[in-house]
Amino acid sequence: MFIPRTLSETGNGPNTLLWRAVGVGAVVSASLFLILSANITLGQENLEAGQIAERDIRAPRDATFDSVSETEAAREAAAESVQDVPQMIEPPADNRDDQLGAFDMVDRGVTRILQLREGGTLTAEGVSTRLATDVPEISPLHRILVAEMSVPRWEVVAEAARGAIESTLAVSIREDELLRVRSSVRDLITNNLSDEERDLAGDLAASLIEPNVVINDELTEEARAQARAEVPPVPVEVLRGEAIITEGDRLTVGDIEKLVELGLTRPSVQAETVVGNALIAILVASILVGYLLRFEPEIWYRNRSVLLFFLALVVSAVAIRIAADRTLWAFAVPIAATVLLIGILLRNSAGMAMAGALAVLAGVMNRDALEPAVYVLAGGTVALLTITRAERLNAFVRVFVALAATNIAVATAFSLLGQRDLAAVLQLAAIGLVNAFLSVILAVGSFAMLGNVFGIMTVFQLLELANPSNRLLRRLLLETPGTYHHSVMVGNLAERAAETIGADPLLARVAAYYHDIGKMKNPLAFIENQAGAHNIHDDLNAETSARIIGGHIRDGIDLGYEHGLPVQVIGYIPQHHGTSVMTYFHQKALREVGGREDLVNEGTYRYPGPKPQSREAAIIMLADGVEASVRSLDEKDEESIRGMVDRIVDARVEDGQLDDAELTLKNIRQIKDAFVGQLLGMYHSRIKYPDNVVPMDQRREQA
């Protein structure tokens, strides 16, 4: 769909070519470098423990450091494992004697008060008052019980309490075990007492249990400090590419420490990273520029095609940068849409180069991850292999199915290698489907628009131009029916020949339809539109006629622009005659001067050109000459047709009209055979029916 240009025809010498390559490479390299370096000083992490991570963050390098949080946790654990340091304040026997002595004082005090009551000295109410004053060890809960108790009964209760104290204090009592021991004392009270009496004896005994061993806080703290000091710093190792934070996780202090150690919490510029990004950008840009220059001259020498290619690269790189290191986002970016667009609008080979470049960038921007690179490369390649020709929307359905299957296969393969769980595999599979859907939708929705913006002809445009109801074709039919019929015949020949040699048959047909539209400006100047009327050229001299005939090239170009034809189709209008000689008028001019060639300037009778620049243009030139010549034959059998085809084609070859069309001798032979086969079908013989017999096809038409 491009008009190739050789180096000499572009007007670009070696120096101009070099500076163009350097300029484009520099701009693309700078753009890619800025995109690759977007995470050096921009987007640094300003995070705190407890926050929810908004994206994945991977380690840009290996690092080993002592973790403050883990070291502190280990030291606290060691300190807590240290037992309290006990200190004996007196032997168990002394502690027991002291507490029994205290109990005996309580016993005597209660006995004396009860004896006063029995002697009539104290009333019952007075007993409770004296107990509260003289024996505070008796709790208010038990004073009424004691006040009503007889002396002998009290002695039984007191003996039970004293025995429990004596048994309990026979061993050392630790301060930190005091509550447990006091609780267990109650279980030592004899069951011979009533419940109220057992509670009284138990409470009294428990109140008089005191420890003889206390915790030495100073020594305990010293032991714990020693335990902390003996714990070495805890090292933490982080490997390059390791996921430090996963999107959606709650950040821990340890995560923050890793980010701090790697310099991801503060703006920092590392020389190694800058140089590495610069080299990657230069390498990718240089390879792409070299590839287009060497293998895609049709793209390289067309500014808008170069702009489209590298603009698509940069926009896609920005999308990859935004989604980089985000587990699901990285697989959702529809990079295959870019590859499809380049393949459809430019060439499949250019789309493949784009897929390779974007795969490299995806791998680098996702911390040198292989999976995103393979994901992009495989998806783009399959999309290009599936699309073939985007003539119908069902072609994009095939792309969706193939792309979705490829995305899922790549994600599943790497999930198995990385031992992801089933939920993660299903998530990535779903994202693969979304990626394929977005890629196809973007490609379908934008390739026609981008084709118009960048002046690139799309298949849908060609199909629209080939429609007989097209406004310009309708004008051609109504105003110049002979030229219309001729153009249709040329289109049939061109399409057949293009299919034979592997050129673009649709482009050849459409270009053939419009190659003679300039004849609409002066229809009667061309014999196919005269319908047997007087030929105006019989009244004109040869030079005037030649100028009129040659003018249909200029008029065709003007009409093409006026009706908005694609530039590529307009380009075939001057090429279909090339710089060939208008033989009839050249011979007429020679006859006018008596055959003196020195008086006739052959250049006056040559078309302005240029010569055909593509295989399709060469085919149209040959089909145009062949169709007009064969139509003039009296006998249209195979021998006559083949002879005429050979003469017309060979004459164009000898005149050098096909020098720039990149046709081989094999292609020329194939074109001849295709023309002969098509013409034989077009001019096949028919049965001569009697006058009173209507052929079957006419009967059907009349019915």
Q: Mind listing the pLDDT tens digit for each residue in 523-553? A: 988 888 887 778 888 889 988 998 999 999 9
Closest C-alpha to 317, from 360, 381, 264 = 360
Question: pLDDT digits over 640-665, tens only?
Answer: 999 999 999 999 999 999 999 989 99
Cα–Cα distance measured from residue 69 to residue 257, given in angstroms and rounded to the nearest whole number? 8
**Cα angle 427, 430, 431; round to 5:** 85
Please provide the distance, in angstroms rounded to a whole number, between the alpha carbons at the two ends of the chain: 44
pLDDT > 90? residue 632: no
Looking at residue 117, its pLDDT comes to: 85
Question: Which value, in Å, is the radius of gyration of the alpha carbons in the chain?
Answer: 51
Q: For 461-683, give the CATH class.
A: mainly alpha
Higher pLDDT, 188 or 698: 188
SS3 at position 87:
strand
Looking at residue 684, its pLDDT comes to: 64
Closest C-alpha to 662, from 502, 456, 469 = 502
Closest C-alpha to 89, from 213, 176, 216 = 213
Looking at residue 441, its pLDDT comes to: 93
Higher pLDDT, 49 or 115: 115
Cα–Cα distance measured from residue 102 to residue 119, given in angstroms and rounded to the nearest whole number? 26
Beta-carbon-side half-sphere exposure of residue 696 (alpha carbons within 13 Å):
2
Higher pLDDT, 269 or 470: 470
**Number of Cβ atoms within 10 Å of the Cβ of 660:** 20
Which range has the top average pLDDT, 34-48, 259-273, 432-446?
Answer: 432-446
SS3 at position 363:
helix
Ramachandran angles phi, psi of 18, nearest 5°: -65, -45
Exposure pattern of 292-315 as b/e (b: 16+ CB <10 Å)? bbeebbbbbbbeebbebbbebbee
Cα–Cα distance measured from residue 84 to residue 264, given in angstroms and rounded to the nearest whole number? 44
Looking at residue 268, its pLDDT comes to: 55
Tally the residues of the chain.
703
204 near 186, Cβ under 8 Å?
no
In sequence order, which residues have a C-beta less than 8 Å from that of residue 648 and are 6 or more positions away? 622, 625, 626, 629
Higher pLDDT, 612 or 696: 612
Percent of the chain past pLDDT 70, that is, above it, reads 91
Rounded mean pLDDT, 455-476: 88
Please identify which residue in the block is written with the tokens 């005191």: 210
SS3 at position 86:
strand
pLDDT > 90? residue 89: no
Looking at residue 634, its pLDDT comes to: 83
Question: pLDDT digits over 582-631, tens only?
Answer: 988 889 888 888 888 888 888 889 999 899 999 999 999 999 999 989 98
Looking at residue 665, its pLDDT comes to: 93
Looking at residue 10, its pLDDT comes to: 47
**Cα angle 630, 634, 637; round to 5:** 70
Widest Cα–Cα separation across the chain: 180
- Helix (H), strand (E) at residue 120: none
The reply to whether omega before 4 is within 30° of 0 (cis) is no
* Local confidence band at 11 (pLDDT 50, 70, 90 cut-offs): very low
Domain definitions of the chain by residue range = 7-40+270-456, 86-215, 461-683
The reply to whether omega before 610 is within 30° of 0 (cis) is yes
Higher pLDDT, 265 or 672: 672
**Cα angle 376, 380, 385; round to 5:** 150
Quote the mean pLDDT of the chain: 86
308-322, 352-366, 442-456: which has the minimum mean pLDDT?
Answer: 442-456
